[in-house]
Amino acid sequence: MGAHRLPGNLQTNRRLSQWLAIHAEGRVTITPGKVELGQGILTTLSQIAAEELEVDLTRVEARPASTPGSPDEGVTSGSLSTQDSGGALRHACAAARAIFLGVVAQRVGVPLETIRIEDGIFHGPAGPIGSYWALADQALLDCEAPAEARPRAPGERRIAGHSIPRLDLPDKVFGAARFVHDLRLPEMLHARVVRPPARGARLATLRDGTLPGDARVVRDGSFLAVLAATEWEAEAAAARLAARAGWEAEDTLPEQALLIDWLREAAARGERSPVASRAEPAPPAAQTLRRSFHRPYLAHASVAPSCAVARWEGETVEVFTHSQGPYNLRADLAKTLRCDPERILIHHREGAGCYGHNGADDVALDAVLAARAVPGRPVRLLWSRAEELGWSPFSPAMLVDVEADLDASGNLAGWRSHIVSNGHSSRPGRAPEPTLLSAAMLATPFPVKPSINPAMAAGGGAPRNGVPLYRIPALSVETTRLLDMPIRSSALRGLGATLNVWSIESVMDEAAALAGADPLDYRLRHLDDPRAIAVLRRVADLAGWAGRSRREGFGLGIGFARYKNTGGWAAVIAEVEALERVLCRRLWIAGDVGEAVNPDGVLNQYEGGAIHGASVALLEEVRFSRRTVTSDHWDGYPILRFSEVPKVELALIDRPDQPFLGAGEASMAPTIAAIAGAITDALGIRPRQLPFTPENLARA
């Protein structure tokens, strides 16, 4: 590793040629290791590259990530892609521009500073003197990135900082074959998995019998799949096979109705650790609020079931996948297959919207296992809706206990909280053993280890956003990671923030009420961060907070967070209407992500995250029996539909001179908090348990 510090993931992938290539025919390819999840990252990264190279955007093609064709950028997660990949590409492309300019300046003998670039053509004082394309030679980029590069100044940007239309959207409105689901390779077979009726069940018996067409069975221990020439044969075969399978199963899940009790019991056996503490002189507590907050398991509920295509050739296997982390997936496939990772070639292809660690990696292993039975032939393995909603990793159930001390003037003097949860990551590639679903079902199974939490320096997992940004002199935040994991848990948009932000904002609302203060004013008087104050003031203006009037049956609430306390800022005001159920009618959102490379893309992410939050707040809860997840269909796991989606108004505070921060996860948790506050405003009750259904509100 070189001596100098480089931006983003250039630090760990230091050669320019790992990031971009310039072609004689007038094209640029960039090869980021981050992947398109529906968030528009490839458009953003293309904009950054085109800007720094000073070429037209249409010349830039962003290749889908692959191993070994892309730098290892870890996982596309944590709202970090613009920082990590965009920061790297900005530096790499600015450095590449300088290298090419240096070459042409020397060849032609003109001073470097007199050369300007127009769509890749270099112009000297007397006219064109060359171009990237004429000089295209990958050897020029086969070098380590220099410590210094001079990206274009904010005021000069013509492509970055503008709302360029998404490059992938035309394919999607014309129904083009863009998704991994659409791959059709010659001689491709279709595969389906037969899942057990219970978690941890063992395949004990499998009766013989005929199968439709030339369908064939693939079995390894309790992993059971079928292969057939067509989708209808594969599905018919899977149904027949399911009827012939005998499973040994037992109760392994807690009683759903007693989930909160189970969390407390399991916490007593868990791993408790400090998250943050502060002990500045604090005024005495005049009163103390003691409150508990709970959320259930949550599902990703992606619109498409997970899918992968795999093909074995000799000892090598090629995998087409919508995984968020190509190298991480490769590592866990290699552990499962007990082979050298170099024997596995990963190609990213888009899946439906991804909001965290869903079934993408799991289905890739399933496809690899199924394809092993038919060397040389590609196998497309598609999960069913029931697998997607029932067997993907889930965001774990959580419990937060808060004690907040208020001084004589009603201000926050002390804060003690305890966050109880399974870890929020079972992502592949990070543990000695694979975390892929079917790895635990093989004849020689791998153990399922309890999920872990990312370090607080990386944003934390369960305790993410658990430390209030508000000014509180005495503070202690602790977390307990559960070591029992009855339901496989991992990362979903916001991780622990979805509960932590609401718990903090709910206490702020209640403290404000006790202090006789407006909820907005009370927050502002506990904040020092000017950008936090700015988003709150902006959203208040947008919603007309100061002049609001009471309407029977309606309520307004406010929620704020800075994602991970280091990322994008979001302030949300929600309006709810309390009918027989609570509906969210309107949302106003103010955001700040520093430099917005694609402002419309940022707004799209903020709005999408907020609607996701509204869905979680009002509807979502994974249901399970003592044996398995039962909410494995859309009726059992409803999400917000068109009829109930709130109107949304957004304001983005653009700061082109500030570092860019991520947008995907910032708005979700504050939206949940704002909806909870609006329910209190409408109904006079303080919700304590997600989702805010009539049953749960009746317990408040």
Partner 1 sequence: MVSFSLNGHPVTLEVPEEATLLQALRGPAGLSGPRFGCGTEQCGACMVLVDGTPRCACTLAAGAVTGRAVVTVEGLGTPEAPHPLQSAFLAEQAGQCGYCLSGILVSAAALLARDPAPEEAAIRTALEPHLCRCGSHNRILRAVSRAAAEMA
Positions in the binding site for partner 1 (CB under 8 A):
37-40, 163, 165-166, 168-179, 181-182, 184, 230-232, 301-305, 350-355, 382, 384-385, 600, 604-605, 607-612, 633-635, 639, 641-643, 645, 647-648
Token digits of residue 125: 């004082």
Q: Give dist(CA 645, CA 679) in Å, integer.
A: 17
585 contacts 575 by C-beta, under 8 angstroms: yes
Residue nearer to partner 1 on the CB measure, 528 or 635: 635
Closest separation between CB of residue 82 and partner 1, Å?
A: 16
* Closer residue to partner 1, CB minimum distance, 453 or 605: 605
Amino acid of residue 692: F
**Do residues 141 and 99 make contact, with C-beta atoms less than 8 angstroms apart?**
yes
User: What pairing do the DSSP bridges indicate for beta strands 398-406 and 412-421?
Assistant: antiparallel
Residue number with CB closer to partner 1 (8 or 599): 599
In this complex, which beta carbon is closest to partner 1, that of residue 163 or of residue 476?
163
3-state secondary structure of 541: helix
Inter-residue contact 475 to 408 (CB < 8 Å): no
- DSSP state for residue 269 in the 8-state scheme: T
- Comparing CB distances to partner 1, the nearer of 578 and 648 is 648
> Whose Cβ is closer to partner 1: residue 179's or residue 554's?
179
Question: Taking the complex as a whole, how short is the minimal distance between the CB of residue 574 and partner 1, in angstroms?
Answer: 14
Question: Nearest CA to 92 among 167, 17, 24?
Answer: 17
Give Cα separations from 81 to 29, 68, 237, 412 (angstroms). Answer: 18, 19, 41, 36
Q: Which is nearer to partner 1, 478 or 607 (CB)?
A: 607
What is the smallest separation between the CB atom of 77 and partner 1, expressed in angstroms?
Answer: 16
Which residues have a Cβ under 8 Å from the Cβ of 595 and sit 6 or more positions away? Answer: 154, 160, 161, 654, 655, 656, 657, 658, 659, 660
Q: Among residues 253 and 589, whose Cβ is nearest to partner 1?
A: 589
C-alpha angle 15/16/17, rounded to 5°? 90
Rounded least distance, CB 200 to partner 1, Å: 26
Contact 452, 432 (CB under 8 A): no
The encoded tokens of residue 250 equal 């037992």
Determine how β-strand 223-228 pairs with β-strand 189-193: antiparallel
Q: What is the distance between the alpha carbons of residues 672 and 501, in angstroms, rounded to a whole number?
A: 8
Query: In the complex, what is the shortest distance from the CB of residue 220 to partner 1, in angstroms, rounded to a whole number?
Result: 26
Residue 612: CB minimum distance to partner 1, A: 6
- In whole angstroms, the minimum distance from the beta carbon of 619 to partner 1 comes to 12
CA neighbor of 421 nearest in space, from 398, 452, 394: 398
Are 493 and 668 contacting, i.e. CB atoms less than 8 angstroms apart?
yes
* Residue 40 C-beta: closest distance to partner 1, Å: 7
Nearer of residues 384 and 417 to partner 1, judged by Cβ: 384
Q: How far is the CB of 352 from partner 1 (least distance, A)?
A: 4
| Contacts made by residues 210-218, CB under 8 angstroms, sequence distance 24+ | 211/237, 211/240, 211/241, 212/236, 212/237, 212/240, 213/237, 216/373, 217/241, 218/191, 218/369, 218/370, 218/372, 218/373
Nearer residue to partner 1 within complex by CB, 83 or 604: 604
Residue among 100 and 606 whose Cβ is closer to partner 1: 606
Q: What is the C-alpha to C-alpha distance for residues 696 and 687, in angstroms, rounded to an integer?
A: 8
| Residue with Cβ nearer partner 1 (306 or 438) | 306
CB of 643 to partner 1, least distance (A): 5
In the complex, minimum distance from the CB of residue 633 to partner 1, in angstroms, rounded to a whole number: 7
In the three-class reduction of DSSP (H, G, I as helix; E, B as strand; rest coil), residue 504 is classed as helix
318 phi, psi to nearest 5 deg: -105, 135
Query: By C-beta, is 456 or 675 nearer to partner 1?
Result: 675
Smallest separation (angstroms) from partner 1 to the CB of 346:
20
Pairing of strands 20-23, 27-30: antiparallel
**DSSP states of 636-690 as a string?**
TS----GGGPPEEEEEE---TTS-----TTTTHHHHHHHHHHHHHHHHS----BS
CB of 42 to partner 1, least distance (A): 12
